[in-house]
Structure 1
Amino acid sequence: MTQPVNVGQDAIRIAGVSWSYPHADAPSLRELDLRVRPGEFVVLCGASGSGKSTALRLINGLVPHFHDDGVLTGTVTVAGIETTTAELDAIGELTGTVLQHPRRQFFTETAPEEIAFAMENFGLPPERIRERVSGAVAALAAGVPVGQCLRDLSGGQQQQVAIAAATAHVPGILVLDEPSSNLSADAVQRLVDTLAELKAAGTTIVVAEHRLRYLAGLADRIIVMRDGRADLSWTAAEFRAVPEEVLAREGLRGAVRASTAPELPATGASVRTAANEAQSGAAPDRGLALAGIRCRLGGRTVLAIERATFPAGAVTAIRGVNGAGKTTLARVVTGLQRSAGTVRLDGEVLTPAARQRASAIVMQDVQRQLFTDSVQAEIALAADAGLPPADVQDVLAALDLAPFAERHPLSLSGGQQQRLVVATVGVCGRRVVVFDEPSSGVDRRHLQSISDQIRRVAADGAVVLLISHDDDLLALAADRQLTLTPPKERR
């Protein structure tokens, strides 16, 4: 049973809330009003930077308790308690949170420990903790090697553990920030099943999301955020009738049309972990060639590639379920991960150090790649030979970042940070460029601009690998594909 909300009481009440982060030029929320009924499933959508994630931080108390030097006006009530005066642990007992980048919310080493962590802190009886951990681990086992260290799991697998950990203490309210961003299609279906079970049990659920298709059968209400306000509100029935041109105008991904995976030709490969087993021909004169790649983590083989070739001037999509080895492949190619085998670029064998010098990568958690004190300085740093100021402005304008040129990168929204790192990779002039889930946190309009940047990097002659579960992005940007499946070897 979920922790109850009193009958007749709003589960969540946000009344006239404005919020400014420390040193921000403008408020992130402006007179936001939002009421969520007990057991209601609400989706917050809208353009990057519209205030969705900040609204979630109001609900779980991170605003203002964690960001305690910002400016807050208005009131926030969750399950009858005012979050500004309540202790953060009291709010935590009533709510569960899943962040967009789950590694930021982990406190332990393994999935069972992480699932138990919150319950132990809330003082639940040991026998109840053991029972709930056992059930959660059994449910995860279909898609997650639950005995592995959390840091060795893929981003999608970490996301699944985070959801299990956030719901183990059975909170009455669950908030999720872009929960599908790193999930493969099978993992998204498991997410849907989990959310449906929680909704049926009476849990109040608020999701901030750009990818709306998978939520079409779950949501009771869809709210479009704009400039820190709740600008539009649709019931589920109303949303299904919204014309495509309205969705496009609001920067929203289509919600009711079935997503069709793009049909891409297979790249030449002989890959023990790949679903497409086409034999490769000769290595390209210009491009990347892999041979005999073997990588083991935590005592298990996570990647095994006999041969694979990736031509220069083209975008190769790397596809596969969570845990298939996609990010490991990216780390091998860019010299960040030790492995057996050889990696050749234009016929020359590259050491890991040489791969690092020849390559660039957009990671899943882009905050780890931001180093300077302004957006335009981040672009200038990335350009090896330096870019003229006019060219820097052109890059910023292409990804709708020009208004934030003087802003500190860490003050941007998640989607804006994603676009900034895509921009830095686009100007760095490296021969091998990897984009690892570059569309997480990205709205419809900026999906096209990111696709344009990826295509431009390839057109400049780079070998481009695009790791993504986002069929919309793949349809726009990819030329060919390599599909991986998890290795069978577990020794």
Structure 2
Amino acid sequence: MIGIENVTWTYPHAEEASLHGLDLTVAPGEFVVLCGASGSGKSTALRLMNGLIPHTHDDGALTGTVAVDGLDTAVAELDAIGLVTGTVLQHPRRQFFTDTAEEEIAFAMENFGFPPDLIRSRVAEALDRLAGAVPLETRLRDLSGGQQQQVAIAAATAHRPRVLVLDEPSSNLSADAVERLASTLGELKAQGVTIVVAEHRLRYLEDLADRIVVMAGGRIDVEWTAAQFRSVSDADLAREGLRGRVHTADLPGLPAIGASVNASTDVDGVPDGALELAGIRCRLGGRVVLDIKCARIPAGSVTAIRGVNGAGKSTLARIVTGLQRSRGTIRLDGKKLGRLARQRASAIVMQDVQRQLFTDTVAAEIALAAIDAPNPPDIDMVLVGLDLDHLAERHPLSLSGGQQQRLVVAGVRVSGHRIVVFDEPSSGVDRRHLASISDQIHQVAATGAVVLLISHDEDLLALAADQQLVLTPPDRQESLVAGIETAEQEAAR
């Protein structure tokens, strides 16, 4: 089904090749997981399979051959390759062309000229599967990252491709969404779809994968069958830079009350330097997406913001940093902060960090971030700590996803802001760099900043967080309360 023979690829303007003599064969119906350290070539290998290389990088240097379902991807038309392949990117919003889930699922089939009746039936089928997890009436841009990804999978598979490639599909997903992802991939595998997944989180795939391929330096370093992988020790995984058993974070709860708070508790007193939230309420797409009556977020420590996809975590981040309008009041050190004041006082690492890269070198990106910092740390030491020092003269957009993630973390580290939000900072990050990111988060908190860490990554939370605020969708919480009240009333009768 997929044949990659002796492929070497160098991106335009890159000094070194990203792939070196890569050989990989994937049989029809096989489920293969590509893994390895950040920058090892996983995402580049996927771009060979869906034709993005060389078609969208026609001034790069490619040697060797790539065939997918009998098509030579270097000479076949991109739409012909797209008809037999489906792709899900790490950040799904980059691949959306429309405003709603219904339109997005229909989009590819319309472009391929499918009959209208067939399009309608497949769209209806896909929407039925999504209905329980995604608010279908909400515009795609207002969905959470996990909800966007579920729509992206539905859109990528509606035209029934024979090959599906996914790049870090679990990176921004809650535990329940990962279960749905695994279930969806299992169904596609049972239908005979050939699946290739580039991932750092491996355990949810161990009952699905037929083969695990570990990449290093643009080459295949080692391969395991599914049976072999199950017996690989954590020490062996660590030597390959791979994540092992998930370490569940058991964190104390932050006192808070409100419809969005999973377990409301009394809020007493205001710690020195705390960020106070009072009466925060936000509506998007005609529904309430965040409702926090009262919360106190302490300075000098790391507060994890947790909850299912769509619980309002990223909305809270945007409100705190002044990027989203809402009702309510926010105070820092007892002083009320309007939106502009919060923007000046805040820094954020977004889920899609490419939106935060502005300069032409890694060094310039860090210098820009530190330009107004009152007491910036040693920039060279920050680069060393995040394993970016050897990339100082590289263009940020030429880096891998994990390297870009660490670059934006480095920028936030040197910025000196009082309020710092890390929104899924470990997506695309391998085992070794997970520890370095955790260390930088702790160092930001040590400056006395209020630090919010939004993440589904249990490994990162166990390393970095001190306490947690668990959010739940306000409508779900209100339904739960209503159900409890109804049950109590019935019992009273």
TM bin, normalised by shorter chain, reads over 0.9
The reply to whether residue 233 of structure 1 matches residue 220 of structure 2 is: no
State the TM-score, normalized to the length of structure 1.
Answer: 0.96
Counterpart of 2:348 (choices 361, 375, 380) is 361
Counterpart of 1:145 (choices 135, 144, 156) is 135
**Separation (CA, whole Å) in 1 of partners of 2:289 and 2:54:** 41
What displacement does 1:276 show?
1.6
Residue of structure 1 in register with 2:152 after alignment: 162
Counterpart of 1:303 (choices 280, 283, 290) is 290
* 1:43-122 superposed matches below 5 A: 43-122=33-112
Question: Residue 412 of structure 2: SS of its match in structure 1?
Answer: helix
Contact persistence 1:100–1:179 (CA under 8 A): yes
* 1:177-196 superposed matches below 5 A: 177-196=167-186
**Separation (CA, whole Å) in 2 of partners of 1:199 and 1:418:** 31
Residue of structure 2 in register with 1:426 after alignment: 413
**Separation (CA, whole Å) in 1 of partners of 2:301 and 2:40:** 34
Moved more, 119-128 or 463-472: 119-128
**Separation (CA, whole Å) in 2 of partners of 1:333 and 1:363:** 13
1:332-380, CA deviations, whole angstroms, 9 ceiling, x for partnerless residues?
A: 0000000000000010000000000001000000000011111011111
The reply to whether residue 378 of structure 1 matches residue 368 of structure 2 is: no
Contact persistence 2:18–2:44 (CA under 8 A): yes
Residue of structure 2 in register with 1:214 after alignment: 204
* 1:402-481 superposed matches below 5 A: 402-481=389-468
Identity of aligned residues (%): 71
Counterpart of 2:166 (choices 164, 167, 176) is 176
What displacement does 1:431 show?
0.4
Amino acid at match of 2:186: A
Counterpart of 2:339 (choices 336, 339, 352) is 352
User: Gaps (5+ residues) in structure 2?
Assistant: 479-493
* 1:327-338 superposed matches below 5 A: 327-338=314-325
**Separation (CA, whole Å) in 2 of partners of 1:133 and 1:436:** 32
**Separation (CA, whole Å) in 2 of partners of 1:35 and 1:260:** 34
Contact persistence 2:376–2:414 (CA under 8 A): no
What displacement does 1:275 show?
0.9
Question: Residue 454 of structure 1: SS of its match in structure 2?
Answer: helix
Contact persistence 2:373–2:415 (CA under 8 A): no
Moved more, 89-98 or 370-379: 370-379
1:182-226, CA deviations, whole angstroms, 9 ceiling, x for partnerless residues?
A: 111111111001000000000000000000011011000000001
Residue of structure 1 in register with 2:489 after alignment: none
* 1:274-289 superposed matches below 5 A: 274-289=261-276
What displacement does 1:384 show?
3.4
User: Gaps (5+ residues) in structure 1?
Assistant: 1-10
**Separation (CA, whole Å) in 2 of partners of 1:386 and 1:475:** 29
Contact persistence 1:222–1:234 (CA under 8 A): yes
Contact persistence 2:280–2:290 (CA under 8 A): yes
The reply to whether residue 202 of structure 1 matches residue 192 of structure 2 is: yes
- CA RMSD across the alignment: 1.5
Amino acid at match of 1:245: A
What displacement does 1:130 show?
0.8
1:361-419, CA deviations, whole angstroms, 9 ceiling, x for partnerless residues?
A: 00000000011111011111111346999922111100000110000100000000000
The reply to whether residue 312 of structure 1 matches residue 299 of structure 2 is: yes
**Separation (CA, whole Å) in 1 of partners of 2:216 and 2:274:** 44
Residue of structure 1 in register with 2:10 after alignment: 20
Kindly tell me: are residues 389 and 376 of structure 1, through their superposed partners in 2, closer, same or farther at Cα, counting changes over 3 Å?
Answer: farther
Residue of structure 2 in register with 1:4 after alignment: none
Question: Residue 23 of structure 2: SS of its match in structure 1?
Answer: strand
Residue of structure 1 in register with 2:487 after alignment: none
Moved more, 190-199 or 123-132: 123-132
What displacement does 1:261 show?
2.6
Contact persistence 2:289–2:474 (CA under 8 A): yes
Amino acid at match of 1:450: I
> How many residue pairs get matched?
478
Kindly tell me: are residues 222 and 461 of structure 1, through their superposed partners in 2, closer, same or farther at Cα, counting changes over 3 Å?
Answer: same
Amino acid at match of 1:130: R
What displacement does 1:231 show?
1.2
**Separation (CA, whole Å) in 1 of partners of 2:421 and 2:325:** 17
Amino acid at match of 1:32: L
The reply to whether residue 132 of structure 1 matches residue 122 of structure 2 is: yes
**Separation (CA, whole Å) in 1 of partners of 2:417 and 2:190:** 50
**Separation (CA, whole Å) in 2 of partners of 1:168 and 1:261:** 35
1:421-472, CA deviations, whole angstroms, 9 ceiling, x for partnerless residues?
A: 0000001000000000000000000000000000110011100000000000
Residue of structure 2 in register with 1:293 after alignment: 280
Kindly tell me: are residues 461 and 388 of structure 1, through their superposed partners in 2, closer, same or farther at Cα, counting changes over 3 Å?
Answer: closer
Amino acid at match of 1:294: R
Question: Residue 474 of structure 2: SS of its match in structure 1?
Answer: coil
**Separation (CA, whole Å) in 2 of partners of 1:396 and 1:459:** 18
Counterpart of 1:397 (choices 368, 384, 393) is 384
Residue of structure 2 in register with 1:7 after alignment: none
**Separation (CA, whole Å) in 2 of partners of 1:297 and 1:343:** 19
